[in-house]
Amino acid sequence: MSKVKTNNLLTPAQAAKDLGISVATLRKYSLIVERTTENGQYFERNTQNNRLYTQKNIEDFKEMVKLSHGPKMTLETAAVQIYPTADVKADTDAKQNGELSELQTTVAKLESENKKRELTIKELQEELSDAEKAKEQLQAELDTLKQQATEKAESTDVKIDENIKERVNEKVNDDKKEHWWNRFKG
């Protein structure tokens, strides 16, 4: 199998056979298209500089011939309707260049915005890291304060227990000295 077929390009003989015309007629059609488009390299070429044709080229040739059968139509006028002329191509190129420039500007803006967002994300990540460190410090301080409070509460509980014991002992000792009925004598 030839390389030409694997690339879906047809040789002049194959294209002429698909169109049902001679190779000479195909060459005539090709020259009309190249003059209309003002592009001598409109068709792809092989290493021997022979034109190669795509299926789209074949369809365009069929349409060109069909249009040329209309009143006051020639192959040249039909080609102008199917293929872009140099003026149309220049306008199309200018329009595409304008669109390309606009797209490049848009891409540049988006890249700039993306960089700003990346910086903002980086700043926020740093703030988050700082906040996490501050949280850890506060947690450590809280744990220390809880431990101190627990120790103080335990020592306070011991003192309270001792105070209660002292008062109870004092009361008991006072009661031993004096009976309760003696309080009512008076």
Q: Which residues contact 38 (CB under 8 A, 6 or more apart)?
A: 85, 86, 89
CB neighbours of residue 178 within 10 Å = 9
- Give me the pLDDT at residue 180, please: 59
Rg, the chain, Cα only: 50
Domains of the chain by range and CATH?
Answer: 3-83 (1.10.1660.10)
CB neighbours of residue 60 within 10 Å = 17
This prediction has a pTM of 0.44
pLDDT tens-digit readout, 61-96: 999 999 888 888 888 888 888 887 655 555 666 777
Sign of CA dihedral 79, 81, 83, 88: positive
User: For the chain, which residues score pLDDT lower than 70?
Assistant: 1-7, 85-93, 156-158, 172-186
* Strand bridging mode 51-52 / 44-45: antiparallel
Distance of alpha carbon 146 from alpha carbon 125, whole angstroms: 31
Unique residue bearing structure tokens 């047809």 = 10
- Give me the pLDDT at residue 68, please: 87
- Give me the pLDDT at residue 173, please: 67
Task: Let me know if 160 is exposed, middle or buried by CB neighbors in 10 A (0-12, 13-18, 19+).
Answer: exposed
